[in-house]
A and B are shown apart, each in its own frame.
Chain A
Amino acid sequence: MRVFLIYYKAINSLNIPISAAYTLLMGAAMGKAWPAIVTSFALCFATGGLWLSVFLYNLRSGKHYFFYYNNHLSKLRLFVYTTLLNLLLAVLLFIIQMFWQWGMN
């Protein structure tokens, strides 16, 4: 678990700025209200931002996968766990935003 969290932290340290930049750009371009901005961030965080982060990690730190292999974790397993955890966080973010909106109305 601790070994996986090292990977998770490394991927999301790339993913969060990427998703935030995408959300800000899209929000500014489309003049979206904040609930839509939160949804955009959550979507990017769980999909495109994550895929781009994994791609960049492979380019920059590909050798580090051997650290995870030496701890019996495959590339696929790392990717699946990261995707599932990010999806969970994105859904949570979406639900919080829904409740917030519901409370405001």
Chain B
Amino acid sequence: MGHELVAEGIMKQYGVRQVLTDCYVTCRTGEVVGLLGRNGCGKSTMLEIIYGVRDAEQAQVRVDGRLYNSPFREKDLLAFLPQGNFIPNGLTISDLVKLFKLEKDQVDKLLSYPRIKELLNLRIGSMSVGQSKYAGLMLLLHTNAKFILMDEPFSGLDPLIAEEVIGILRRYKNKGIILTDHNYRHVLNCCTRFMVLHEGAIHQVKDPQEDLIRFNYLPPGAFDQ
């Protein structure tokens, strides 16, 4: 059965600066929604508000019509991949599988990835930035969360792993994913739908080549190369 996440009326102000103005975001399971926007425009803030870990002047988050004040507190609802490593350094992937209470078929699926097998008993603190990012991303993808919010999932990943992750995200049809990243080529490659955050408002992107330039996210001629 498909699920739908609707976040609406998101308003956030830092001092006198209005960062987000009545933003509206939706995501269905099976969709990978790319959120693009320039530095400091409020992409990470918006994801954290949707997740329920950052205060906002106003925000309503609904999943399948039910309103949630702090979605992160609910089991099997939302997961969040932040920028940088979020896993305590002393843990290994084997520990994480137990802590996140992954089901057997999910564990088998996770362990079917050769890179994960290689890293299985290595402490997160001993991994490189890219390896820990990959481990965190793969772990969250195999939890029961219906939706995953990803803040810069490709940063720190080498091109080979980034391509592998794009392939995995494209194949994942049982979750809804909202992601933001500055590598717009990766975002364009793996997302099924795009939005751009421009001057505090969300705009749906229908034609990336035209709209991303129109909303001043990319320079003119960016797609000519």
Contacts and interface: CB of A to CB of B under 8 A. Distances in A.
B217 interface: no
B77 to A, nearest CB: 9
Contacts of B80: 66, 69-70
Contacts of B86: 63-67, 70
Interface stretch (A2-10, A20-28, A30-38, A94-102): A2-10
The B interface is mostly helix, strand or loop, or mixed, namely loop
Interface residues of B, number: 24
Given A63-B82, A66-B80, A66-B82, A71 B99 contact: yes
Interface of B: 51, 53, 70, 72-75, 79-88, 90-91, 98-100, 140, 143
- A: interface residue count bin: 10 to 19
A58 interface: no
The A interface is mostly helix, strand or loop, or mixed, namely helix
Nearest to B101: A71
B85 A74 contact: no
B51 A72 contact: no
A69 B87 contact: no
Interface string A39-68: 000000000000000000000010111110
A69 B100 CA distance: 12
13 contacts: A2-B99, A63-B82, A64-B88, A65-B86, A66-B80, A66-B81, A67-B86, A69-B51, A70-B80, A70-B100, A71-B99, A74-B70, A74-B73
Contacts of A75: 53
A16 B98 CA distance: 28
Contacts of A63: 82-86
A65 B80 CA distance: 11
Interface in A68-86: 69-72, 74-75
B88 A70 contact: no
Contacts of B74: 72
Given A2-B99, A6-B99, 9 more contacts: A63-B86, A66-B81, A67-B88, A69-B72, A70-B86, A72-B72, A72-B74, A72-B75, A75-B53
